[in-house]
Structure 1
């Protein structure tokens, strides 16, 4: 089951940095509680699991898989559609938890920077691992049309507090922002495999709004 896989990965990540199983369990409870909230329709445990699968497939191309995995677990920990600072709040929550362990402070800062980068999806430091991290986060954009349509519906459900008029205006800006980029994906792998499909999906949704 997905939850068992997530739990196993979490334990393997944290065991070298704390002798307290209670602290490890507390961290996983924090993760599952937030990602299982009833208002989560896309940014949930299934999303986490999907990113873990991508990490597993590409782990030989990632220099620091520990930082990468921790950033996956925490990157959408805080997700409130009414707030503009979810990424910063998620980064701070990651730091608050990790500083209770012996995880190196410099690496904690690296995890926080990865999480913060999901706000703009800009890799200002040209960090190769961050290119993959951001591409994983946007990988849903380059999936088959029916999968993408399901994703778009889930996002709309997460923003259900807003009227169609308000939501559509905001969603159009997001879609157009990605379409205006020279490329949606940053790595050669994802550009080759998903760029064309992603652009068609975004255009199709844009035209439907």
Structure 2
């Protein structure tokens, strides 16, 4: 999959000119390629786009959701709690005035990737599930994922990081479901719970 081509096609569809697209792609690529990003990088975006392509026919507003995919982690600082809000604000700030996108949907969708709670809008539930698909990877890949997350939080010593990470993971297990769509629950719920439980054991 060619991410720049996907991005270019999307932005052409929503009213950007080619020069603007080039500038925005360079900015996006630079941001997601920052050396501090071990997991929340272009590989993560590419994985989410692959899920989007598989299930795009299920979406009422595919352009809004793929735009949200590209920008949902634009702002990412492990010491901050408002990354999603700031990312959503930034995403809306670059849209052309004549864009026909549903800006409220984009804003709400990006913000929803903070808590990953069930949403009344099904498109947002799909985005949440695309974001969390990593939790159901085979164990070796899942282990690489949580090691990458640890590197992103390297400013915190183990005595702070481990209980914080365990608390966040237990929050997933306390919910009735990790995944918000029937399709993802059927395919990935059991595997994700297994991986999370196994990681919690390693943290305690």
Shorter chain as normaliser: what TM range?
A: over 0.9
Shift of residue 140 of structure 1?
0.4
Does the 8 Å contact 1:6/1:49 carry over to 2? yes
Cα separation, 2, equivalents of 1:102 and 1:145: 46
Question: Partner of 1:88 in structure 2?
Answer: 85
Shift of residue 198 of structure 1?
0.5
5+ unaligned residues in a row in structure 1: which ranges? none
Cα separation, 2, equivalents of 1:198 and 1:52: 20
Shift of residue 19 of structure 1?
5.3
Does the 8 Å contact 1:179/1:199 carry over to 2? yes
Shift of residue 64 of structure 1?
1.1
What is the aligned length? 203
Cα separation, 2, equivalents of 1:73 and 1:173: 28
Cα separation, 2, equivalents of 1:70 and 1:19: 13
Shift of residue 101 of structure 1?
5.0
Question: Partner of 2:20 in structure 1?
Answer: 23
Does the 8 Å contact 1:17/1:101 carry over to 2? no
Q: In the TM superposition, what are the counterparts of 1:1-209 in structure 2 within 5 Å?
A: 5-18=2-15, 20-98=17-95, 100-104=96-100, 107-124=102-119, 126-209=120-203
Shift of residue 102 of structure 1?
2.2
Does the 8 Å contact 2:92/2:107 carry over to 1? yes
Cα separation, 1, equivalents of 2:16 and 2:152: 38
Shift of residue 26 of structure 1?
1.4
5+ unaligned residues in a row in structure 2: which ranges? none
TM-score by length of 1: 0.93
Cα separation, 2, equivalents of 1:8 and 1:82: 33
Cα separation, 2, equivalents of 1:137 and 1:203: 19
Q: List, as ranges, runs of 4+ consecutive aligned residues in structure 1 with deviation greater than 4 Å.
A: none
Deviations 1:108-154 (A, max 9, x none): 22111100011111234x11111111011000001111111110100
TM-score by length of 2: 0.96
SS, match of residue 118 in structure 1: helix
Would the alpha carbon gap of residues 25 and 177 (structure 1) be closer, same or farther in structure 2, given more than 3 Å must change?
A: same
Cα separation, 2, equivalents of 1:17 and 1:132: 21
Deviations 1:71-92 (A, max 9, x none): 0000000000011100011001
